[in-house]
Amino acid sequence: MVATCRRMNESGINQGTAGNLSVRNPDGFLITPTSLPYDRMQPEDLVQMAFDGTYAGRHRPSSEWRFHRDIQAAREDIDVVLHCHSVYATTLACHHKTIPSFHYMTGVAGGTTIRCARYATFGTQALSDAAIEALEDRLACLLGQHGQISLGRTLAAALALAIEVETISRLYVQALTLGEPPILSDEEMARVLQQMKNMSYGQAPDLDGVNDTARQRE
């Protein structure tokens, strides 16, 4: 977890002590402490939390512990919640813009859009409720006038998704300078999502024509 936090800053998707990270474990979840710079953080600084909101450790948990707890409780399909203030995702979030399927890679978040949650004060139950709503059937969302959340089974997966969300956000901001970009149809995005699902299972894409020249040697 500590290495992932440092990688968040090194990759440019987070700055200073902003952002936070949690990982499910048998006793609830581990979460990063509040207001401790990542370059000074050590494994013993991580905070153990239970789903009833109690915690143990030398530090207080992140001020955003509520949405970490609620997402972990609601989503058995994931084990990691990563929150950061990446610049382009936050730029869109400041305008409450949902990212549409202007590019097929929007599908990495699990649907045809990357939603933007309504604004709520940081650290509140209202923000947690808004995040849960925006993450329905998704692995990532923006938080209105705040930042982004990305989910995963593993630390590596959550970090990779957060970086991808930032990349897609940057592309969308740049595309908007030329006007509203055309949007891929739901039918096309259904094909994209199926391709991504196949690839996540280690299978090559299998749509007509894709594998005409890519065959495994016998």
Residue 48 parent element (H or E): strand 47-49
C-alpha span between 127 and 132 (Å, rounded): 9
What dihedral do alpha carbons 55, 59, 60, 64 form, nearest 10°?
A: -100
Tell me which amino acid residue 181 is.
P
Q: Is 64 a catalytic residue?
A: yes
| Contact between 4 and 15 (Cβ < 8 Å) | no
How big is the CA angle at 168 (ends 33 and 164), to the nearest 5 degrees?
50
Catalytic: which of 10, 44, 64, 218? 64
C-alpha span between 66 and 53 (Å, rounded): 8
Mind telling me the catalytic residues? 64
